Structure 1
Amino acid sequence: MANTIKIRARLSGDTTTVKALISHIMETGLRKDSKTGKTIPAHYIQEVVCEHKGETVMTAQWGPAISKNPYLSFRFKGAEKGDTLTLRWVDNKGESDSIETKIA
């Protein structure tokens, strides 16, 4: 799968702010196709995990109520400039993606 995540991590003082935009259709399973009238199957991200130095700093459990192309922002402490941060997601169909970035 092509990379679906855009991410930025910036250190300010002792706090790192992470901002990520994930490209995903996030279908609820409740909408109907306007041409066929059939229900569009559910397809949404279930879990997002962010790791720093092998430790999980954020886990999000999502469901069908999250909007298309979700934006995520969070903060954590204990990082330094140049450290690597990994963000990954898995959806209800088993598709996944991950990305690494350096903290600026």
Structure 2
Amino acid sequence: AAGATIPAHYIKDVEATSAGKTVLKAMFSGSVSQNPFLSFKFKGGAKGDKVVVKWTDSKGDSRTDEAAIA
């Protein structure tokens, strides 16, 4: 209402690793949706192996999550 600019806030970098190896590395820009969906496949993973996904946003915040391959 005051005409102030709202700074962009979006996910910039995503990295997925499995067994200590990077299986996905991506850089996004301001065109990413508010609740993005990311899907990918890689070779060499076995059932029960963990996949760790880390992201960093445009404000410098980051998060890491992990899941087991089903």
TM-score by length of 1: 0.64
Q: 2:7 aligns with which of 31, 41, 44?
A: 41
Cα deviation code 1:52-80 (max 9, x no counterpart): 00000001100111111111011111010
How many angstroms apart in 2 are the aligned matches of 1:62 and 1:95? Answer: 15
> Would you say how many aligned residue pairs link Structure 1 and Structure 2?
70
Q: 1:60 aligns with which of 20, 26, 30?
A: 26
Identity %: 47
How many angstroms apart in 1 are the aligned matches of 2:18 and 2:29? Answer: 25
RMSD: 0.9
In structure 2, the partner of 1:17 is none
In structure 2, the partner of 1:90 is 56
Gaps of 5+ in 1: 1-34
Gaps of 5+ in 2: none
Higher strand residue share: 1
Give every structure 1 segment of 4 or more consecutive aligned residues whose post-TM-superposition deviation is greater than 3 Å: none
